[in-house]
Amino acid sequence: MKESIISAVKRPFADGYMVNRKTVYLGKPLNHAWQPDWNLRLVKKSANPRWEGGDIHEYLVIDGRVSKLSGYLFHYSYKNIKDHFTKVVNYSYIAAKEMHRKRKKFKIRKIFLNPAASFVREYILKRGFLDGIRGLIVAVSATYYSFLKYIYLWEMERKDGKD
């Protein structure tokens, strides 16, 4: 990645560059779960960089051409399993609040289908099983996040009806 960044700065061929974050989880890099994880991170100031999106998972956007850099940016997002699942609980609540604010409605089918789809995506389609127990934990956390998000939304809608 270092050489890619140096080359892009010395001889720019775009206004912004995406890097693939490789999460180091429980002491080892994940090679399948949470991959790829492309994020715009190197940008020209003249490209009008700005953050957009909701309260979580904001993303950087620019005016101009975007390209990808080779290599990985190692991402140390969680100290341990407790830290990971604490963030899952918090982020799912924030996501539910955002859905509620946008007047998205709770549907019972989503509490079954979306968590199951999250597990299948991370563990099977992205081949998280090849990351061993770490891949399984990631898939379960995605399932839990999705489930919590919808039950929080359900709870928020119930409170609306009683107020």
Q: What is the pLDDT of residues 97-156, one digit of tens each?
A: 999 999 999 999 999 999 999 999 999 999 999 999 999 999 999 999 999 999 999 999
CA–CA distances in Å: residue 28 to residues 46, 82, 129, 138 = 37, 17, 14, 13
Q: Would you call 36 helix, strand, or coil by DSSP?
A: coil
Both tokens assigned to 18: 């995406």
Report the predicted TM-score, pTM, of the whole model to 2 decimal places.
0.87
